Amino acid sequence: MKLLHIDSSVLGPHSVSRQVSAAAVERLRQANPGLVVTYRDLTQTPLGHLTGLHLAAGQGAAPDPSVRDDVAAGQLVLEEFLAADTVVIGAPMYNFTIPSQLKVWIDRILVAGKTFKYSPAGVEGLAGSKRVIIAISRGGYYGAGTPMAALEHLETYLRGVFGFIGVTNLEFIPADGIQVGPEHREKAVAGALQAAGSLNAA
């Protein structure tokens, strides 16, 4: 079994999403002693934003020298994702959506012919065999019926993205209200860590 662990928060040890994603990975590691874990910190090894040169290379053109290394890095990222049975992602909310570092990673794994394909019947996801666990942290409260619900573009976006490539075994571990006050943060973190530590083994 192979697990891919992705972190995207810029806050380092102060990050809630990093704490919770690490707890999720540790829970799965303990439950599956033979688990092989690959870790990628998107803030320490950032990928470049897509350009026309990247897209040309993706269509079969020889990579321009200015993007050759980044194209190779993007291919490695895709291979890591394809090889993983389980993916654990730490995803904080930044300005109502995902960090740009995570968006760049997503741009490298949503590849026609690899994780989805077009057919006469429409789009078909090709990553349906994977389990994806996402630790999300939000400064406020964005649930249905709350005043800020219309600005929730973190969980909703990630549900759409992974649903598009066929993932049905998708789990979210939320930590909400972490900027509301110390008590709210403590409660949110404790609840998320408990949920991470109680994940099903498989």
* CA–CA dist 155, 70 (Å, integer): 28
Residue 140 to residues 29, 73, 160: CA-CA distances in angstroms?
Answer: 31, 35, 22
Alpha-helical segments (H) within the chain: 16-31, 52-58, 68-83, 100-109, 155-164, 182-197
Q: Are strands 2-7 and 36-41 parallel, antiparallel or unpaired?
A: parallel
pLDDT of 59 reads: 85
User: pLDDT tens string for the chain (202 positions)?
Assistant: 999 999 999 999 999 999 999 999 999 999 999 999 999 999 999 999 999 999 899 888 898 899 999 999 999 999 999 999 999 999 999 999 999 999 999 999 999 999 999 999 899 999 999 999 999 999 999 999 999 999 999 999 999 999 999 999 999 999 999 999 999 999 999 999 999 999 998 7
What is the distance between the alpha carbons of residues 36 and 30, in angstroms, rounded to a whole number?
A: 12
| pLDDT value for 60 | 84
Which secondary structure element, helix H or strand E, spans residue 1, and what is its range? none
**Radius of gyration of the chain, Cα coordinates, nearest whole angstrom:** 17
Q: Are residues 136 and 93 in contact, defined by beta-carbon separation less than 8 angstroms?
A: yes
